[in-house]
Structure 1
Amino acid sequence: MGKILKSISFIFHPLIMPILGVIFYFSKSPRYIPREIIQAKLIALFILTVLLPIIFYFLLKTLGKVSSIYMPDVKERVLPLAINCIVTIVILQRILTPNQIIELYYFFLGILISSMTCLMLAVFKFKASIHMIAISGVFMYFIALSIHFNININGTLALMSIITGAVATSRLHVNAHTNIELILGFFVGLIPQLILVPYWL
């Protein structure tokens, strides 16, 4: 059981959550979007949200700015979070502008707000769970999409509830966070997505 709980933190890593939300959107959207556009967006977002952060991580580790992928010291989180905010701003300006795919634009705007909030907390030496920020943000986005497109995804939402609980349990099991840090992370991820819903729903 211990190995399963540890593996959950890797399987549902925060890096894959944004691209998971994008894939879900394209799979459920009733709008016609040319396949070439979808492929171009997915490739660009995969490079910027997955590959680039991995490269930055190894660079920061080589420079001694981070000790491990978990960044146990809250001070280690400041620079990676700042880089993530910059990358997200680039995505909003170049990849997902509001006049193209408004649902994804506000999804990533919510991610930016959550990242900036997490950054500010790190500056003040408080560690919120980035895993919970990521999973709760995507969970809220899925709920909003189900309402927006009037589709029944109750099975997916039930699975996301289980996954959210499993991620929280996993982070507690490896002693990565306290209960308060997990709860705070959950709301830091969920609230921005909830607040932005009226702008695109």
Structure 2
Amino acid sequence: MKFFIRSFSYIFHPLFMPLVGVLLYFYISPRYFNPEFLYSKVFATVIMTTVIPILSYFMLKNLQLVTTIHLKEVKERRWPLLLQMLFTFILIRLIFDGYEIPELYYFFVGILGASTGAFLLALLKFKASLHMIALSGVLFFVVGLSLHFGINLLLLIAGFIFACGATATSRLDMRAHTPAELVVGFIVGAVSQFMVYSYWI
């Protein structure tokens, strides 16, 4: 049972959530996209949000700036979050055009805002849950897509609400966070997406 509960921390890892958001957008959107265009955007997202951050982790570990991939200490989060902000900024500037795909453009603007919020909290020695930031960000992005396209996505939204609860339980079971850190993480992710709603919905 303990293994099952803890598995949610790995299934819904923050590294995968930007890609999940992009894939959900292309699946949900009623707009037609050229397959080559779609694949290029997904590939760029994989490279910038998953592959390069993983490679960056090993670089930071060799420099003794982090000790484990779990980033248990608050001070260990600062460099990874700074790099996350840089990679997200590159995606916004070079990959997702605000006029071409405004939904994904502002999704990543929201992610940049959430990363900045998490970084500032880390400077204040507060360890907001990155899992909850990422999950609540995707949850509110899906809510935005439902409003934007006028599509009933209640089952998907309910699924993400369940995922948030299960992942929060997992993080508590692993003693990775306090309840306050989980709540603040959820709020940071949700507010960051909610604040950009008016630009694309």
Residue in 1 aligned with 2:159? 159
Q: How many angstroms does 1:192 deviate by?
A: 1.3
Supply the distance in 2 between the matched residues of 1:30 and 1:106 (Cα, whole angstroms).
18
In the TM superposition, residue 3 of structure 1 has moved relative to its aligned partner by 0.6
Q: Distance in 2 between matches of 1:120 and 1:153?
A: 33
Q: What residue in structure 2 maps to residue 189 of structure 1? A: 189
Name the structure 2 match of 1:143: 143
User: Which residue does the alignment assign to 1:9?
Assistant: 9
Superimposed CA distance per residue, residues 113-162 of structure 1 (whole angstroms, 9 cap, x where no aligned partner): 00001001101111100000000000000011011111111111111111
- Identical counterparts, % of pairs: 45
Tell me the secondary structure at the aligned position of residue 30 of structure 1: coil
Counterpart Cα distance in 2 of 1:68 and 1:10: 15
Specify the SS of the correspondent of 2:66: coil
Correspondence for 2:54? 54
Alignment-derived partner of residue 169 in structure 2 = 169
1:29 Cα deviation from its structure 2 partner:
0.6
Tell me how far apart the structure 2 counterparts of residues 23 and 97 of structure 1 sit (CA, whole Å): 17
Q: Distance in 1 between matches of 2:58 and 2:7?
A: 21
State the 1:100 CA deviation.
1.4
In 1, Cα distance between the equivalents of 2:97 and 2:124? 32
Paired amino acid for 1:30: P
Partner in structure 2 of residue 37 of structure 1: 37
1:63 CA drift (Å): 1.8
For 1:88, the equivalent position in structure 2 comes to 88
Q: Distance in 2 between matches of 1:105 and 1:131?
A: 21
Where structure 2 has 5 or more consecutive residues not aligned to the other structure, the ranges are none
| Distance (Å, rounded) in 1 between the aligned partners of 2:71 and 2:161 | 26
Q: Secondary structure at the match of 1:183?
A: helix
Determine the structure 1 residue equivalent to 2:68: 68
The amino acid that maps onto 2:53 is P
TM-score by length of 2: 0.98
Deviations 1:62-94 (A, max 9, x none): 221111111111000000000000110000000
Q: CA deviation at 1:177?
A: 0.4
Q: How far apart in 1 are the matches of 2:60 and 2:4?
A: 29
Following superposition, the deviation at residue 193 of structure 1 comes to 0.6
